[in-house]
């Protein structure tokens, strides 16, 4: 199944690239630099999903102590860090021409950076504790506490006055976006979700192999 998801992800990515860089119209205000949105927004939405999975799997692990939950939590956290990292980098590159700066201590940017650091810490913690069972338990607690930051990141642009624009999608009002832009965004979102699923299946296999080899 994993291979098929991988091929589907590759196809969706190719379609997303064509739509994002070619089909979607140039933004009337920002020009072509707005096309960064087609990777920036799917990256953070995928990261939200990954960290939500960490939360569910961490609760599952603490309740049942089953390794499957721990594997899911570990794999999702690693992917969440990658997609949050992509969000921060693409946002910084987008920020320079539009805001005139690579970085500013705005509520959205800062809360996203904190989210990133929490889960980097989560991964470091797992590596630091030698006893796997104990490490999994500590990580599960961090995974649950860290999830509190997800709504803070998402709603930061509504709760505080920020340089970052309000949410384009998943906001309180219907997004003022052209259908062609919405299509490009949607296809890229699907592509990122498929990549996430493919990577997740691969990372879970890897984690199982790690356990077998180090047993």
Partner 1 sequence: MPDHWGFVFAAYGIAAVVLFGYWRHLIRREAELAGLKARREAKRA
CA-to-CA distance for 72 and 59, rounded, in angstroms?
11
Phi and psi at 31, nearest 5°, equal 75, -155
Q: In this chain, which of 60, 85, 121, 135 binds partner 1, going by CB under 8 A? A: 85
Taking CB under 8 A as the binding criterion, the range among 33-41, 47-55, 149-157, 172-180 that sits at the site for partner 1 is 33-41
Shortest reach from residue 160's CB to partner 1, in Å: 25
Shortest reach from residue 151's CB to partner 1, in Å: 25
Kindly state the number of chain residues that form the binding site for partner 1, as judged by CB under 8 A.
Answer: 32
> Counting contacts by CB under 8 A, is residue 118 touching partner 1?
no
CA 92 to chain centroid, in Å, comes to: 16
Q: In this chain, which of 12, 40, 139, 146 binds partner 1, going by CB under 8 A? A: 40
3-state SS, residue 186 = helix
Query: Site map for partner 1, 149-188, x if CB under 8 A?
Result: ----------------------------------------
Nearer to partner 1, 39 or 147 (CB): 39
CA-to-CA distance for 110 and 33, rounded, in angstroms?
22
Dump the DSSP string for 131-171.
SHHHHHHHHHHHHHHHTTHHHHHHHHHHHS--SSPPPSSSS
State the alpha helices, DSSP H only, in the chain. Answer: 2-18, 37-64, 67-99, 107-128, 132-146, 149-159, 179-214
Q: Name the residues that contact partner 1, by CB under 8 A.
A: 17, 21, 26, 29-33, 35-36, 39-40, 43, 82, 85-86, 89-90, 93-94, 96-97, 195, 199, 202-203, 205-206, 209-210, 212-213
């Amino acid at each position: 199944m994993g291979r098929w998801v991988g091929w589907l992800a590759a196809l969706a990515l190719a379609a997303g690239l064509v739509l994002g860089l070619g089909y979607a119209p140039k933004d009337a205000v920002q020009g072509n630099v707005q096309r960064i949105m087609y990777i920036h927004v799917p990256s953070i939405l995928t990261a939200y999903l990954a960290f939500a999975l960490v939360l569910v799997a961490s609760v599952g692990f603490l309740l049942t102590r089953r390794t499957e939950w721990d594997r899911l939590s570990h794999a999702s956290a690693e992917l969440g860090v990658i997609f949050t990292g992509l969000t921060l980098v693409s946002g910084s590159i987008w920020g320079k021409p539009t805001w005139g700066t690579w970085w500013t201590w705005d509520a959205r940017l800062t809360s996203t950076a904190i989210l990133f650091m929490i889960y980097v810490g989560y991964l470091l913690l797992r590596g630091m504790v030698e006893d796997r069972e104990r490490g999994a338990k500590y990580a599960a607690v961090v995974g649950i506490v860290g999830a509190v930051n997800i709504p803070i990141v998402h709603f930061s642009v509504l709760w505080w006055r920020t340089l970052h624009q309000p949410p384009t999608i998943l906001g309180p009002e219907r997004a003022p976006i052209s259908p062609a832009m919405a299509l490009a965004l949607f296809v890229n979102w699907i592509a990122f979700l498929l990549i996430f699923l493919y990577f997740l299946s691969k990372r879970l296999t890897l984690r199982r192999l790690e356990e077998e080899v180090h047993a």
